[in-house]
Amino acid sequence: MPTKPAASETGDPLLLTPGPLTTSRTVKQAMVHDWGSRDATFLEINRAVLDRIVEIAGGVGTHVTVPMQGSGTFAVEAMLTSFVPRGGKVLLLANGAYGQRAMKICAIAGRAHQILETPEDTPPSLSKLDETLAADPSITHVFAVHCETTSGILNPIRQIAGVVAAHGRRLLVDSMSAFGALDIDAVAVPYDALAASSNKCLEGVPGVGFVVCRLDALKAAKGNATTLVLDLHDQWQAFERTGQWRFTPPIHVIVSLHQAIEEHRAEGGVKGRGARYAANCKVLIDGMAQLGFKPLLPPELQAPIIVTFHMPTHPAFGFQAFYDGLKDRGYVIYPGKLTVADSFRIGCIGRISPEQMKGALAAVTEVLAEMGVTLKEAA
């Protein structure tokens, strides 16, 4: 008999994906109101959200949060095109789709760039980074991805920041899938800007990205932007002058993000949230290993965010049937998009407990049995 379908607090399937994610009932309920975009009630909530994000980043007094309507990529594009001046040059550290996407942004925006690429299961080389910066004084900025969600790899962001600072260059970080769960303190990891979004580890609904900006660097970014809407300096100036957004804000997203940040704090902030995700990740990897699945990454490179597993080669295994069987039981997983290996991914983030992750493993066990697949070699 199949396990009872799993459910989030609202009875929907659990999203074991890289985002958007399962959110709490209270985060969704925060949205059943209307607010005027210029009304004091909304503007106070908005101000609190921006301030709380700076607190989470460890940048009180030195950094500001500039939000950007849209998904996370809007924030990344705003960051690259607002901080890298037209005469600048970016060195992009890439080991997955998000590094590649940053390159595309630079190409379209006409920003000089160079890519330092490693395979998807390999962190950027710190010595190559060091050599490249030493050899090319025209490089003004380095772009790095904190957790590359393509594979789930944890890139050595603190060491990268150290090398970049030693050369006197500026760091731009895509911490989209890590911010709020993995430590990236603005003092320990010096950066000019860090991009993230509402719908990953902060467990809000999708619709707004944000860039945590070092205030001095943001002030110096005036006039860099090549688009009106993605101009972070201009967006920030509007908040400074009026407390208001330049264009229609995603009001409901922001009010529910405010609730999500309250829940983040109640869970113990970055430490508490990171601990739950680590527990989810451990349950997942241990349980999948017992069933005979192999993770792509060794433990020391694995971030507790999303896990890539090799696609089984058993002749009776079919990914679509596997996916559908899990979906029927209330768990939504994610296909892989790696070039190094045929794979699929299971996320550890969102409003999901280790207990619910055990439920997902029970569902995996059942679906394998239904397909007639045994992955574990006989001992």
Ligand X SMILES: *Cc1c(COP(=O)(O)O)cnc(C)c1O
Which residues of this chain interact with ligand X, rule CB under 6 A?
A: 18-19, 71-73, 76, 98, 145, 149, 174, 176-177, 197
Q: Is 207 left (phi over 0), alpha (psi -120 to 50) or beta?
A: left
**Which lies closer to ligand X via its Cβ, residue 18 or residue 59?**
18
Contacts of 17 (CB under 8 A, 6+ apart): 306, 332, 333, 334, 345, 347, 350
Nearest distance from residue 96's CB to ligand X, in Å? 8
State CA 280 to chain mean position distance.
17
What is each CA distance from 22 to 18, 91, 203, 314, in whole angstroms?
A: 10, 35, 7, 31
**Which lies closer to ligand X via its Cβ, residue 174 or residue 203?**
174
Nearest distance from residue 7's CB to ligand X, in Å? 25
Nearest distance from residue 135's CB to ligand X, in Å? 28
CB atoms within 10 A of CB 228: 9
**Which lies closer to ligand X via its Cβ, residue 6 or residue 154?**
154
SS3 284: helix
Nearest distance from residue 78's CB to ligand X, in Å? 12
**Which lies closer to ligand X via its Cβ, residue 120 or residue 174?**
174
**Which lies closer to ligand X via its Cβ, residue 176 or residue 367?**
176
Nearest distance from residue 309's CB to ligand X, in Å? 18
How many C-alpha atoms does 266 have within 13 Å on its Cβ side? Answer: 7
What is the token pair recorded at 352? 């999901």
Of all residues in the shown chain, the one whose CB is closest to ligand X is 72
